[in-house]
Amino acid sequence: MSLLGFLDRVADVATFDKVIEPARRAVLGVLRPPVKDLLHGTWLGHPVHPILVQVPVGSWVSAGLLDAIPRMRPAATFLIGAGVAAAVPAAASGAADWSEQGPGVRRLGALHAVANTVALGLYAGSLAARRKDRGGLGRVLSYSGLAIAGGSAAIGGHMSYAQSSGASHAATAARALSSEWLDLGPLDDFPEGRPALRTGTGGAADVPLAVVRRGTKVDVFVGACSHLSGPLQEGTIEEVRGSQCLVCPWHGSAFDLDSGEPRRGPAANPQEKLEVRMEAGRVMARVHSRNR
């Protein structure tokens, strides 16, 4: 069985949920907005976890190289300490994202978290050993930590690339749209104050669109929420943090009607909007070239 096949098997084991669900509820109880949104990366319009993990991973890999050169070992010890400190915010952001994912991602995420915790413990032990002048033991512990952290990074990569954790589900849906202008119907057919469902046809697949009318202004969003594909056409219009937003009915992410930027998480990616123009009183929309 391939490594990826093994990880997919782990992601299918529902019995893990007996342990994972209480842990998830605990994370949701501790991490509250606005700290939780800070950890998701909602303020940045991009998930922060893949950015934050660069510091511990880079520090520990560099320490592994420097440890191979005896006169560079003090620098290696410094980098291990830097990596241990940087692992804390990286883990917090990962926990925030993990708590809002689907069951399959949560199962692999739990394995990822356990492996990272073991690696962190080995690095902390390495620092303690080095402080007591037991450099040989310190290097054994840190190289063991590096091996486990590397394996854990592979799990994290599988969560991102194979399970689309952290990816924009709206951008994926937008790629199925036709690149032609779509006729969504007369302006007068759209209600005020709530999103209306229209379907983008003529592309690789039919794509639900969420259309929001404010007077003569119309905003057209891809209907699949960037977080986990929730149906934005069934969402609500609310003011969130000073902006008029389209709010997802699944986990409450709020997207600025004007820009599509997230104003409240768990979404960290913006919501895809279409270009809009009026033609003889009818609403026309077209996917942006970046999504074609």
With CB under 6 A as the contact rule, which of the stretches 56-64, 85-93, 127-135, 243-251 interacts with ligand FES?
243-251
Residues 92-151 within binding reach of ligand FES (CB under 6 A): none
Residue reference for tokens 């991102």:
160
The footprint of ligand FES on residues 167-206 (CB under 6 A) is none
Judged by CB under 6 A, which of 122, 228, 245, 287 binds ligand FES? Answer: 228
Q: Which of 116, 59, 61 is nearest to 86 (CA)?
A: 59
Q: CB of 191: closest distance to ligand FES in angstroms?
A: 21
d(C-alpha 261, C-alpha 265), whole Å? 11
Using alpha carbons, select from 284, 270, 41, 285 the residue that is nearest to residue 171.
Answer: 270
Nearer to ligand FES by Cβ, of 77 and 233: the residue is: 233
Among 7, 38, 225, 245, binds ligand FES (CB under 6 A): 225
230 is a site residue for ligand FES (CB under 6 A): yes
Q: Nearest Cα to 255, choosing from 188, 198, 167, 170?
A: 170
Q: 59 Cβ partners below 8 Å, 6+ apart?
A: 79, 80, 82, 83, 86
Which of the ranges 6-14, 60-68, 170-178, 221-229 carries the binding residues for ligand FES, by CB under 6 A?
221-229
Contact window for ligand FES (CB under 6 A) among 141-149, 154-162, 203-211, 223-231: 223-231
Max alpha carbon distance in the chain (Å)?
A: 81
Only one of the segments 26-34, 188-196, 207-215, 222-230 lies at the binding site for ligand FES (rule: CB under 6 A); that segment is: 222-230
| Region of residue 193 (left: phi > 0; alpha: psi -120 to 50; beta: else) | left
Give the up-direction half-sphere exposure of residue 71: CA atoms within 13 A in the CB hemisphere. 0
Contacts with ligand FES by CB under 6 A: the residue count is 10
Q: According to CB under 6 A, which one of 113, 159, 220, 248 is a site residue for ligand FES?
A: 248
Residue 257 to residues 33, 222, 247, 262, Cα–Cα distance (Å): 21, 12, 10, 10
Interface with ligand FES includes 209 (CB under 6 A)? no
Q: Residue from 154, 250, 259, 282 that binds ligand FES (CB under 6 A)? A: 250
Q: Does residue 268 touch ligand FES according to CB under 6 A?
A: no
What is d(CA 16, CA 250) in angstroms, rounded to the nearest whole number? 23
251 counts as binding ligand FES under rule CB under 6 A: yes
**Which parts of this chain interact with ligand FES (CB under 6 A)?**
225, 227-228, 230, 248, 250-251, 253, 266-267
